[in-house]
Amino acid sequence: MLLIPCPWCGPRDESEFRYGGEAHIGAPANPGSLSDADWADYLFMRNNPKGWFRERWMHAQGCRRWFNAVRHTVSNEIAAVYRMGEPPPPAPGPGREGET
């Protein structure tokens, strides 16, 4: 089970959280002028890196607030958590297992 550091409550068990998938997907500024391909990209296409990933979590059984995390998708190492609206920290170097 992951130990996830909620930026408000501190480290808690993964089972208290809800996963929100990839972070920083902004709603389109001009929805009326989007092509079908643009809509597909916004609605369905996702990064799925083997390595560092910026993702959203919600502390469902705690403060019930959303936040972002930078987690490595092989080692599960969490390099940073930051609150909604804060700028994402720069991507860390290679992960513990030498994966990129």
Partner 1 sequence: MRRYSILSLARNALSHHQGWPRLWRSPEPRRAYEIVIVGGGGHGLATAYYLAKEHGIVDVAVLEKGWLGGGNTGRNTTIIRSNYLWDESAAIYEHALRLWEGLSADLNFNVMLSQRGVLNLAHTLHDLREGARRVHANRLNGIDAEWLTPAEVKAFCPIVNVARDARYPVLGATLQRRGGVARHDAVAWGYARAADARGVDIVQNCEVTGIEVSGGRVTGVRTTRGAIGARKVAIAAAGHTSVLAAMAGIRLPIQSHPLQALVSEPVKPVLDCVVMSNAVHVYVSQSDKGELVMGAGIDAYNSYGQRGSFHVIERQMAACLELFPIFGRMRMMRSWAGIVDVCPDASPIVSKTPIGGLYINGGWGTGGFKSTPGSGWVFAHTIARDEPHPLNAPFSLDRFATGALIDEHGAAAVAH
Choosing among partner 1, Zn ion, none, which partner's interface includes residue 19 (Cβ < 5 to 8 Å by kind)?
Answer: partner 1
Pick from 98, 65, 61: nearest CA to 82: 65
In the structure encoding, which two tokens stand for residue 53, read together? 């990933």
Quote the least distance from Cβ 25 to Zn ion, whole Å: 22
Quote the least distance from Cβ 57 to Zn ion, whole Å: 9
61 binds Zn ion (CB under 5 A): no
Whether 38 contacts 28, CB under 8 Å:
yes
Residue numbers at the binding site for Zn ion (CB under 5 A): 6, 8-9, 59, 62-63
